Structure 1
Amino acid sequence: MTAPAAPEPGAPVLVAGAYSVDLVFRELAGPVAFGSEVWAGGMGMVPGGAFTLAMGLRRLRREVVWAADFGSDVFSQEVLAVARVEGLDERGFRHHAQPVRNVTVALSGPQDRAMIAYEDPVAVRPLAELIATYRPAVLMLPYLQYGPEVSNALDVAAEHGCHVFMDCQDYPGHLDMPDVAKALSQVQVFAPNEAEALRITGADSAAEALEILADLVPVAVVKRGGKGAIAAEAGRRVARAAPVVRVVDTTGAGDCFNVGFLHQRLAGGSLEECLAAGVACGAAAVTGPGSSAALDSAGLRAWLARLPA
């Protein structure tokens, strides 16, 4: 059997996922329900979706290619302008003559949020094609993906020596579905939040969910919001608490966690160090609307110093 090829020196992280514009309403005066009007104490409009992953990695000085689509609409142009300010590599961008709107309205509370999303349909580039084109060291997938086409693409990733980091998001799927179990067996890091981990595994606790996932994935992570995170690798179990912060908005915190975790992993960090970097980036993220508080290298060092022992 031929050994998998190693990524080329300096190979980028490939982020494959759509942008979003997050319209974040916070400090709500009461619960939202049909037939009622609720005033918000604050509002922000920030780029989100896979932009957060690409931007966060770039702020931490990682080479990153973001495969994303932009259209003629104002939302596409807003995110594209911010991406250029952040210095993102545009090789993976595709531009369309029609609108490619992707908008999320986030109603943000101190501990959680409700979201309403809309996106214009656009034919995405096949994952296998993206991997073969950009030869990344790591492929970051912002949400749970599975099925024959995905598994074939993950085989291509393995052939190129490309590791796969997959989040879950609120996408349907559970481990009783063979395609889901197969896809997870092909990734190197899987990082759902606690609610997602319970749903996908059917477990009763985060710790039980972690044990189930650890049997499938080399590195399993369960993000627990204000409680920090837990992770498993090669029989080891690690937990890290989060610092106490004033929460402005939780939108994008999970993506920022992923950025910190992967950044430290690319630096050769231990599981403990990766988890600490993820928790630090996630905690910092909730102090601003959307992804606006994503950390740079100096900020990460400062936030690591704030973590509880």
Structure 2
Amino acid sequence: MRVGAARGREVLVVGDYFADLIFQGLERPVRPGTEVFAGALDLLPGGAFTPAMAMHRLGRDVVWAADFGTDLFSSLVLGAARAEGLDESGFRHHAAPLRSVTVALSYPGDRAMVSYQDPHGAPPLTELLREHRPAVLMLPQLRYGAELKASLSVARQLGTLVFMDCQDVPATLDTPTVREVLAGVDVFAPNADEALRLTGAGTVDDALDLLAGLVPTVVVKRGGEGASAVQEGKRYDVRAVPADVVDTTGAGDCFNAGFVHALLAGQQLPACLATAVACGAAAVTGPGSSRALDPAGLLHWLARVPRP
């Protein structure tokens, strides 16, 4: 797995912003007909903001393609992006509200989420690829369909490596074009639950094997068990870093940012996994993506990654 020399930007992130309303310290699970008080509350930028911001903090040249409206949530995330110094050349602004909101109910080690998004057209991926000619394209969720297949063909022509996460997308390997799209992706990185739902496999190991038959490099995020990957038939495992968990929201996106950061540095898969695990572990020690690492912080957390 190699990243060619960037003729344009290092990383193009294409995905929607979300404003994350995070309730922490819940005394018990929330059920219909009950009221539960949280111990803490945060309103933070999320969605594709997280991998774009996390890559930028690590010193990478990033352009994020996203849409913003006239609503409060757009303003919140746009302000945070500007405060982080993100390049705005990929932003599209609409003269109407474009609300993208997630309510996260954060429990120790996991969270439940409810999201809402105003409908809007997706950014033109093929045009973005040709404009920015990135070394790496990051897609924060599983996308499929004929248009996406055509865009992946353009990415291959440009020599762009494609990294795709899964997220909780209602699709399986039997959904039309999903298999074809995965075959055009270089790195696919679902978490364990997503891998099971997507493949219908009985175990994470079986899901990993199924996906490895479709994608050159498969990475499965396993939370407190670390991460596993298969590349060219060889499996790699990295154990989790012990951490005091405050909130897991955004940890997967920070994991992804760490993986791509190491990939751009020319690291092999085991080192990419270790960097990803370090970034994901740091992320859970604060709400949302607030603990995304800079280079100095990465060195500290990398030293804590368990070695084989």
TM-score w.r.t. length of structure 1: 0.96
CA distance in 2, matches of 1:64, 1:194: 28
Match for 1:292: what amino acid? Answer: S
Counterpart position of 1:37: 35
Counterpart position of 1:20: 18
Seen in structure 2, the aligned counterparts of structure 1 residues 282 and 60 have a Cα distance that, compared at 3 Å, is: same
CA distance in 2, matches of 1:207, 1:267: 29
CA distance in 1, matches of 2:5, 2:297: 29
> Are positions 1:86 and 2:87 aligned together?
no
TM alignment of 1:288-307, pairs within 5 A: 288-307=286-305
Structure 1 counterpart of 2:258, from 257, 260, 272: 260
Counterpart position of 1:204: 202
TM alignment of 1:94-109, pairs within 5 A: 94-109=92-107
CA distance in 1, matches of 2:284, 2:43: 15
Q: After TM superposition, give the deviation of residue 238 of structure 1 in Å.
A: 0.5
Seen in structure 2, the aligned counterparts of structure 1 residues 122 and 7 have a Cα distance that, compared at 3 Å, is: farther
TM alignment of 1:1-309, pairs within 5 A: 8-9=6-7, 11-309=9-307
Alignment RMSD: 1.1
Q: Provide the secondary structure at the position in 2 that maps to 1:122.
A: coil
Q: Which sections of structure 1, spanning at least 5 residues, go unmatched?
A: 1-5
CA contact (8 A) 1:131 1:156 kept: yes
CA distance in 2, matches of 1:125, 1:177: 23
Q: After TM superposition, give the deviation of residue 12 of structure 1 in Å.
A: 2.5
CA contact (8 A) 1:265 1:274 kept: yes
Query: Once structures 1 and 2 are overlaid, which stretch shifts more, 31-40 or 180-189?
Result: 31-40
Q: After TM superposition, give the deviation of residue 85 of structure 1 in Å.
A: 1.1
CA distance in 2, matches of 1:199, 1:207: 13
Q: After TM superposition, give the deviation of residue 215 of structure 1 in Å.
A: 1.2
CA distance in 2, matches of 1:305, 1:8: 29
> 1:214-238, CA deviations, whole angstroms, 9 ceiling, x for partnerless residues?
1111110000011100001122210
How many residue pairs get aligned? The number is 304
Match for 1:157: what amino acid? Answer: A
TM-score w.r.t. length of structure 2: 0.96
Match for 1:181: what amino acid? Answer: R
CA distance in 2, matches of 1:218, 1:41: 44
> 1:129-180, CA deviations, whole angstroms, 9 ceiling, x for partnerless residues?
2111211111110111111111011011111111110000000111123410
Task: Give structure 1 regions of 4+ aligned residues with deviation exceeding 2 angstroms.
Answer: 6-12
CA contact (8 A) 1:7 1:162 kept: no
CA distance in 2, matches of 1:61, 1:25: 31
Q: After TM superposition, give the deviation of residue 7 of structure 1 in Å.
A: 5.9
> 1:197-256, CA deviations, whole angstroms, 9 ceiling, x for partnerless residues?
111112121111111111111110000011100001122210001122111000001101
Q: After TM superposition, give the deviation of residue 78 of structure 1 in Å.
A: 1.1
Q: Which sections of structure 2, spanning at least 5 residues, go unmatched?
A: none
> 1:38-69, CA deviations, whole angstroms, 9 ceiling, x for partnerless residues?
00011111100000010000000101100011
Q: Provide the secondary structure at the position in 2 that maps to 1:37.
A: coil
CA contact (8 A) 1:7 1:136 kept: no
CA distance in 2, matches of 1:220, 1:285: 22
CA contact (8 A) 1:10 1:63 kept: no
Identity of aligned residues (%): 60
Match for 1:92: what amino acid? Answer: G
CA distance in 2, matches of 1:305, 1:205: 31
CA contact (8 A) 1:24 1:45 kept: yes
Match for 2:233: what amino acid? Answer: G
Q: Provide the secondary structure at the position in 2 that maps to 1:103.
A: strand
CA contact (8 A) 2:8 2:132 kept: no
CA distance in 1, matches of 2:7, 2:67: 27
